[in-house]
Amino acid sequence: MFLLALDWGYRSQRSYLVRAIPVGLALGALAYVYAAGRLLAPLYALALLVFAGRGRWRWLLATWGTFAGTLIPLAVYWQNHPGALTARYERTTFIEKGMSLPTIVGKAISNYLDDVNLWHWVSSGDPRPYIHAWGAGQLFGSVVVLAIAGAAIVLMRNRGDLWWRFVLVALVLSPIPAALTEDRHYALRLLPLPLLLVVLSIPALDLLLRAARDAWPARLAVAALVAGVVAQFAQFERSYENNGPTRTELFEAGVSPLLERAVPGNRSVYIDYDDRYAQTHALWYAVSHGMSSSRVSILPDGGIPPAGSIVFGRYQACDYICTELDRSHSYWIAKAAGTTPA
């Protein structure tokens, strides 16, 4: 949405204010949709300096002003809830108190280079099982080839087109938020990367398809690219067939059967006061099954459920005597004895 608004704002003949507002709003949307966007949106806003020049300063300032306006609710929230907007960053960043600036920069550069290793994305992808089926590529090699060719075309033929110049700058900036975290090849934080690669493939694909009308070498190149996509898709299908059924970690399909066993009839289920995952699942189960939420009993700190009652949890172990009855990976149900262990 941001790239489309920017392309229209760059090429339109409308007034600078009319052209600026959609771009500023799109930047604001980017800042709200995901935690990484709160860094990526200001980086992209700064990268708009690519367009700075005679006749475009008012448009640029109006875009920045619109973007700043979209951040007012965020600023109000920050004022009312100090630290809430940075909590996710603090949990995921590799930066620790006392690290020197050269160490931070060196680590960030190393992370950046690791994350933009396109061979990794073509051959493997995100190692997290809830995002990708490990063992197959997560990005088509044909897209990478076309994007590299497209970048070369932009540098050689379209250097004067500021929008394409911005796409190149945006591609370089997009992995920065992910590079500041401790997780490598995290696809959700790196989503702008494949998107911009697809955009950059457009000039090469356009040139190739026009050449394929008359030249057999170009037709063979198109056929090779298509064959590469088909082969990679077949590889992914085989990998998913073999590895997909084992991707059960952090998938929570087994939680509902656990709770069904925990609350037969009119029984209540007891949950530790700070086991938020278990509380959320139990309350959602109650809503989706027409069960009174009062049957989901949240224990106070140090509370002990009645003897013989059923307890549901994930990360918190019983701090009283209980016997585990069933488990689905990290989720479990147990029968409480009602006494504190010696």
Tokens coding 222: 């198109």
Q: With contact defined as beta carbons under 8 Å apart, do 21 and 64 qualify?
A: no
Q: Which residues contact 225 (CB under 8 A, 6 or more apart)?
A: 142, 145, 146, 208
pLDDT at 154 over 90: yes
Token look-up 């073509």 returns 122
Q: What is the pLDDT of residues 226-272, one digit of tens each?
A: 999 999 999 999 888 887 777 776 677 788 899 998 888 888 999 99
Domain ranges of the chain: 1-92, 95-247, 255-336
Tokens coding 324: 């585990």
Q: What is the pLDDT of residues 294-326, one digit of tens each?
A: 999 999 988 889 989 999 999 878 888 899 999
Q: What is the pLDDT of residues 3-40, one digit of tens each?
A: 999 999 998 889 999 999 999 999 999 999 888 899 99
Q: Which residues pair with 333 in a beta bridge?
A: 312, 326
Alpha helices per DSSP H over the chain: 2-11, 16-33, 37-47, 57-70, 72-80, 87-92, 101-115, 118-123, 141-157, 162-173, 176-179, 192-211, 216-243, 255-262, 276-288
Per-position DSSP letters for 283-314, written without gaps between them: HHHHHHTT--GGGEEEPPTT--PPTT-EEEES
